[in-house]
Structure 1
Amino acid sequence: MLDLACDISAMPPLDARRHTRYATLRGASVRSSASNVAPGSILDLSVSGCRLATQATFDKGTRVCIRIEGMHSLWGTVMWQDGTDVGVSFEKPMHPAVVEHIATVTPH
């Protein structure tokens, strides 16, 4: 499996909208400490977060674990939810090359 995290602690924090967002459709699952695993799909992805579609509901500020098919789990915080769309900010940024790979390579 790929290691998705990179250490950029020496870098100043960046606004999530400054990162390239890739439109994609990748299978994923999401859960919080208070919920069961729910299926979902990653709709767009950047180094700092994602937008996913799921039937699960989360309050803003909920810590969630997202698992993209074939990858390690990513922890993040729910920033918003609008219907089935959920915006998540990752706790640790993903490496840009990994994001591009996930977004552009068709899963097997």
Structure 2
Amino acid sequence: MEEDHGEPPSKLPPVRSTERRRFVAAGFLRVGNGFAAGVKVTDISLTGARVQGLSPCFETGTTVQISFQGIGPLLARVRWQDTSSIGIEFERPLHVSVFDWLSSSY
């Protein structure tokens, strides 16, 4: 039987599996159906990024290609979206040295 310590359950979001760093760069996003747009890539991690400048028009799981800062195209999947941005997860994590270079260039 578990002991109740009188503390409410945590309402904090789950801890990220990788470090996220503040980052801003112009980018280009393309989807297999022909959709392409200039975007702003922000809040980058080894495994993904926030992409701003899009209306909410993607389904979770949609495969996209993203290019920014002379890197890419990288394959990624849409993991979430809100009214002005989407979260993408890279198919392959960025190499640590690339991640460090990108985040130091911000």
Question: Normalised by the shorter chain, which TM-score bucket?
Answer: 0.7 to 0.9
Task: Show the 5 A alignment for 1:1-108.
Answer: 17-56=16-55, 57-106=57-106
Tell me the amino acid that sits aligned with residue 87 of structure 2. G
Give the count of matched residue pairs: 92
RMSD over equivalenced CA pairs, Å: 1.8
Q: Pick 1 or 2: higher relative contact order, CA cutoff 8 A, min separation 6.
A: 1
Give the % identical residues. 27
Tell me the amino acid that sits aligned with residue 85 of structure 2. D
Q: Computing the radius of gyration over CA atoms, which structure comes out larger, 1 or 2?
A: 2
Unaligned runs of 5+ in 2: 1-14
Contact 1:76 1:91 in 2 (8 A): yes
Partner of 1:9: none
Partner of 1:13: none
Unaligned runs of 5+ in 1: 1-15
